[in-house]
Amino acid sequence: MQATRSGERSLSAGRRGVNAGMAVIITLGTLLVIAPLLWIIIYLVTQGISSLNLDFFTRTPAPEGETGGGWLNAIVGSLIMLAIAAAVGVTVGVAGGVFLAEFPRHRLMPTVRMVSDVLAGIPAIVVGLVIYSLVVLHTGFSGFAGGLALGLLMIPIVVRTTEEVLKLVPLAVREAGMALGLPQWRVIVSIVLPAATSGIITGVMLALARVAGEAAPLLFTAFGNNLLNFNPGKAMSALPLQIYIGATSSYDENQRLAKAGSLLLILLILIASLLARAASRRR
Amino acid sequence: MTKPLSSPRRLPSSRGDGTFRAIVIGLSVVIILVFVLSVLLLARDSVPALQHFGLGFLTRTAWNPVTGNFGAAPMIAGTLVTSFAALIISVPLALASAIFVAEYAPKWLAGPVSYLVELLAAVPSVVYGLWALFALKPLIQAFQLSLYTRFPDLATRCSELHANNQNSFSCFFFPEAPVGLGLALAIIILTIMILPYTASVARDVIRLVPGDQREAMYALGATKWEVIRLAILPYARAGITGGVILALGRALGETLAVAMVIGNVPEFAKTIWGNTATMSSMIALQFGDAQATLHRSSIITLGLLLFVVSVIVNYGARLLIARLTPKGIQ
């Protein structure tokens, strides 16, 4: 406001200059924000694509110092741990979302809302510490402990998206159910939840994409394992965990596979987020 | 439930309702339990370290597993310095991208740009770490080497100062050795990682600024930038602040990307390039090997500290955002 009144003639050129200058700065700033993403994608594609071959998907890592091998163990481990995480995250998360959306006057409601919001910001590494003393201390490193840690990280995301989509289901739909004489739980289970399914699936996909890239909570829960292992009761590898181990290894071979693994992980996350976006747009 | 005659038609439904409520509420209480259990476990395991060192744990500078001497000060400093430096660099950039998407970009461009910014948040921490290690580190090393060849006098003077554990303003910016890893690289990578959080919150609150605010300013003859500076940014300030605090929460807890590039020396950095550690990087790298109770407990105390700080920061950010986004009250 102050700038608009002082000296119309002389300032007008100055103001126009500032305006144009800021437009340039803002555009450059935006380019600077996007540049790293493009750089990362180009880097991973050029460095990783040649190693993302059949071996990568069908073999386990070669012994240290030898060449060849792949990351079948990490792919299988990721799938198993994500399944465990989904079981935990979807059960508790959807229930939490239903609670917040359908029982808004319950006296526990503000606490559940606050705690789930706050849990969303707890560093993943701290969740790893908690699962370590809760599970690993008693049963040892396992895919189960890793999946549980990832599941806890999924909960807040699933709670929030479930609550939001449930609130989008029109009140009239619920009233129609009630008018048919259905009890509240039937209305929720048979009418409200099915109406919100695609939204909930979107939330679950986003949550899975998010935790699929987490390595920190797996460091001392799943721990990692170079052998092909289908038993979640034992130590298990996962793509992000193996990327961490490979990238910080001094062997070229491990670094090469880590780049291919990163490319695969990024592609999976891109696909999941695109699918989630497509699903939410269709709704 | 045992009064079938008084309300026969309500019986089956109310029993189902009761079971359903019990399941939903029971599972929701699990969320609270997870939180409470986390606090209790971390607190319990922190006891040995806190008993041994007292609250002085927070200000002690030693970290030596061999002699059993632990203090969190270098890691607290490392966490605060990297987080705030990343915040300071990222806020203007994030605001620029938010303003661009909300005010400048044509529709066909705004969508893709904000999608790309959000993808920045989807890139996993380890992938940022890998990229920093293989693509950025060599660049930083080359830059550090060029400083040596360009300023040989400064190089000699600073290496003497650093050898004697002294410092000066110019030497603070001069690398001790051209290793690439260290504080600067950690700050760069953190900056990139937290950008999307501030950017997307800022974009959303800027879009919530009512159209009349803009039109009133344009009607007074304001330029586009003046409208943004005088009508939009002040209106969106509180919401943007919430987004910045949210990004701070991310930065404080960010683990592997930082652990991969910061060097992980539990000491204060002597220069902007120096090796140091953060609380989370220390947990990630030492917890697996920590055998002694005191060592393990000291690391868990770092975790407890991180937990408490994240709860406070995130709760504060959510309060700010929740209070200010709904109808954009002042």
pLDDT (average), residues B291-314: 94
Is residue A64 less than 8 Å (CB to CB) from chain B?
no
Cβ contact, residue pair A47, B134, below 8 Å: yes
pLDDT beyond 90 at B315: no
- Which residues are within 8 A (CB) of B55 and not within 5 positions of it... i.e. 6 or more apart? none
pLDDT (average), residues A170-189: 89
Q: Which of A81, A184, A222 is nearest to B21 (CA)?
A: A184
The H-assigned helical ranges of chain B are: 11-53, 73-99, 107-122, 125-131, 137-150, 152-163, 169-172, 183-208, 211-219, 224-227, 233-253, 256-261, 279-286, 293-324
CA distance A228 to A62: 12
- Range from A49-53, A147-151, B312-316 carrying the lowest mean pLDDT: B312-316
pLDDT at B57: 95
A248 min Cα distance to partner chain B (Å): 7
pLDDT at A128: 96
A175 min Cα distance to partner chain B (Å): 16
- Tens digit of pLDDT for each residue in B185-217? 999 999 999 999 999 999 999 998 888 888 898
Q: Which of A160, A215, A130 is nearest to B306 (CA)?
A: A130
- Predicted TM-score (pTM) of the model is 0.92
Contacts of B113 in chain A (CB under 8 A): 30, 34
pLDDT at B8: 45
B56 min Cα distance to partner chain A (Å): 22
A152 min Cα distance to partner chain B (Å): 8
User: How large is the ipTM?
Assistant: 0.92
- Tens digit of pLDDT for each residue in A84-127? 999 999 999 999 999 999 999 999 999 999 999 999 999 999 99
Q: Which of B313, B310, B305, B308 is nearest to B46 (CA)?
A: B305
Share of chain A above pLDDT 70, in %: 95
How high does pLDDT run on average in chain B? 90
pLDDT at A282: 58
Contacts of B256 in chain A (CB under 8 A): 215-216, 244
pLDDT at B281: 97
Per the CB < 8 A criterion, the answer to whether B261 and B281 are in contact is no
Furthest-apart CA atoms within chain A: distance in Å:
79
Residue of A244, A259, A275 for testing the chain B interface, max B β-carbons within 10 Å? A244
pLDDT at B3: 46
Scanning A230-269 for CB atoms below 8 A from B yields 240, 243-244, 247-248, 255, 258-259, 262, 265-266, 269
CA distance B38 to B84: 27
- Range from A68-82, A222-236, A268-282, B216-230 carrying the lowest mean pLDDT: A268-282
pLDDT at B16: 82
**Alpha carbon distances (Å) from B18 to A183, B23, B182:** 10, 9, 58
Is residue A11 less than 8 Å (CB to CB) from chain B?
no
Per the CB < 8 A criterion, the answer to whether A217 and A149 are in contact is yes
- Range from A13-17, B30-34, B136-140, B323-327 carrying the lowest mean pLDDT: B323-327
pLDDT at A11: 59
H or E segment to which residue A45 belongs: helix A8-48
pLDDT (average), residues B309-330: 73
A58 min Cα distance to partner chain B (Å): 22
CA distance A4 to A14: 11
Q: Cα B179 to the chain's mean position, in Å?
A: 25
Instruction: Return the residue of B nearest to A123 by Cα.
Output: B253
Per the CB < 8 A criterion, the answer to whether B75 and B302 are in contact is yes
Q: Which of B105, B121, B126, B101 is nearest to A218 (CA)?
A: B126
pLDDT (average), residues B128-143: 97
Cβ contact, residue pair A111, B32, below 8 Å: yes
- Residues β-bridged to residue B276: B263
Cβ contact, residue pair B20, A30, below 8 Å: no
CA distance A72 to B184: 36
Is residue A126 less than 8 Å (CB to CB) from chain B?
yes
Query: Predicted confidence band at B324 (pLDDT cuts at 50, 70, 90)?
Result: low
- Residues β-bridged to residue B64: B69
- Tens digit of pLDDT for each residue in B229-255? 998 999 888 889 989 999 999 999 999
A278 min Cα distance to partner chain B (Å): 13
pLDDT (average), residues A12-22: 89
The number of C-beta contacts closer than 8 angstroms across A and B is 269
- Which residues are within 8 A (CB) of A254 and not within 5 positions of it... i.e. 6 or more apart? A61, A245, A246, A247
Residue of B79, B123, B226, B293 for testing the chain A interface, max A β-carbons within 10 Å? B123
Share of chain A above pLDDT 90, in %: 77
Is residue A47 less than 8 Å (CB to CB) from chain B?
yes
pLDDT at B321: 74
- Tens digit of pLDDT for each residue in B13-59? 567 888 999 999 999 999 999 999 999 999 999 999 999 999 999 99
Share of chain B above pLDDT 70, in %: 94
Cβ contact, residue pair A115, B311, below 8 Å: no
Cβ contact, residue pair A29, B252, below 8 Å: no
Cβ contact, residue pair A273, B135, below 8 Å: no
Instruction: Return the residue of A nearest to B252 by Cα.
Output: A123
